[in-house]
Amino acid sequence: MRREHAIFLIIIVVQAAGFGQTKEELQARRQKAFDEIKLARELMEKTTRERAGSVQQLRLLQKGINSRARLIGTLESEMRIIDEEITDTRKEIGNLLAENKKNKQEYARLVYYAYRNQTNYEKLMYILAGTSISQAYQRFKYMKYISDYRIGKAKEIEELVEALERKNEELNDLRNDKLRVLEEKDREQGELVRERGQKARMIENLKKQENQLKKEIEEKERITKELEAKIREIIEEEARKLNAKNIYAALTPEQELIGNDFRKNKGILPWPVERGIITMGFGDNEVPGLVGSSVKNNGIDIHSEPGTRVRSVFAGEVTKVFPILGANYAVLIRHGEFLTVYQNVVNVRVKIGDKVLTKENLGDAYTDEVHDVAMVHFEVWREKTIMNPEEWLSK
Q: What is the per-residue DSSP string for 131-157?
A: SSHHHHHHHHHHHHHHHHHHHHHHHHH
Same domain for 115 and 76? yes
Give the Cβ contact number of residue 48 at 10 Å.
Answer: 15
Q: Is residue 329 part of a domain?
A: yes
Q: Do residues 318 and 347 share a domain?
A: yes
Residues 156 and 298 occupy one common structural domain: no
List of residues 6+ apart from 176 with CB closer than 8 A: none
Same domain, 266 and 202: no
Number of independent structural domains in the chain = 2
Q: Is residue 336 part of a domain?
A: yes
Instruction: Name the average pLDDT for the chain.
Output: 76
Q: Name which residue leads in pLDDT, 341 or 151.
A: 341
Q: Is residue 189 part of a domain?
A: yes
Choose the final residue of a domain: 180, 207, 234.
207
Shared domain for 229 and 128, answered yes or no, is no
| Shared domain check, 182 and 263 | no
Within a domain: residue 215? no
Angle at 394 between CA 391 and CA 395, to 5 degrees: 85
Per-residue confidence (pLDDT) for residue 108, from 0 to 100: 67
Contact 209, 289 (CB under 8 A): yes
* Chosen domain end from 152, 183, 207: 207
What domain range is 177 assigned to? 2-207
47 and 19 together in one domain: yes
Given this model, what pLDDT does residue 73 score?
80
Please choose, from the candidates 29, 39, 81, the residue with its C-alpha nearest in 3D space to the C-alpha of residue 60. Answer: 39
Helix (H, G, I), strand (E, B) or coil at 350: coil
Show which of 207, 228, 256 is a domain's final residue. Answer: 207
Q: Specify the pLDDT at position 288.
A: 65
Distance in angstroms between the alpha carbons of the first and the last residue of the chain? 47
Are 171 and 234 members of one domain? Answer: no
CATH code, domain with 331: 2.70.70.10
CA 100/CA 105 separation, integer angstroms: 9
The rounded distance, in Å, linking the Cα atoms of 22 and 232 is 43
Reported as a pLDDT band with limits 50, 70 and 90, residue 13 is: very low
Predicted local confidence at residue 129, as pLDDT:
61
> Residue 139 — very low, low, confident or very high, per pLDDT cuts 50/70/90?
low
- Determine, yes or no, domain membership for 237: yes
Q: Is residue 190 part of a domain?
A: yes
Question: Quick one: 203 and 224 in the same domain?
Answer: no
| 158/90 same-domain check | yes
3-state secondary structure of 384: coil
Specify whether 55 is located in the same domain as 135: yes
pLDDT attached to residue 355? 95
In whole angstroms, give the CA distance from residue 26 to residue 264. Answer: 24
pLDDT higher than threshold 50 for residue 3: no
**What are the phi and psi torsion angles at 182 (to 5°)?**
-65, -40
Q: Which helix (H) or strand (E) holds 302?
A: strand 300-304
Cα 289 to Cα 56: distance, rounded to the nearest angstrom: 12
pLDDT at 8: 40
Length in residues, the chain? 395
Is residue 212, in this structure, part of any structural domain at all? no
Categorise residue 291: left if φ over 0, alpha if ψ from -120 to 50, beta otherwise: beta
> Among 9-13, 123-127, 317-321, 358-362, which stretch is predicted with the lowest mean pLDDT?
9-13
Does any domain span residue 214? no
| Least confidently predicted of 13-22, 40-49, 227-236, 279-288 | 13-22
Same domain, yes or no: 191 and 338 = no
Q: Residue 80 carries which side chain, given as an amino acid letter?
A: R
Q: How many whole angstroms from its chain centre is CA 259?
A: 25
Does residue 272 surpass a pLDDT of 90?
Answer: yes
State mean pLDDT over 167-177: 75
> 235 - beta bridge partners?
none
pLDDT of residue 162: 79
357 DSSP assignment: -
CA 87 to chain centre: 26
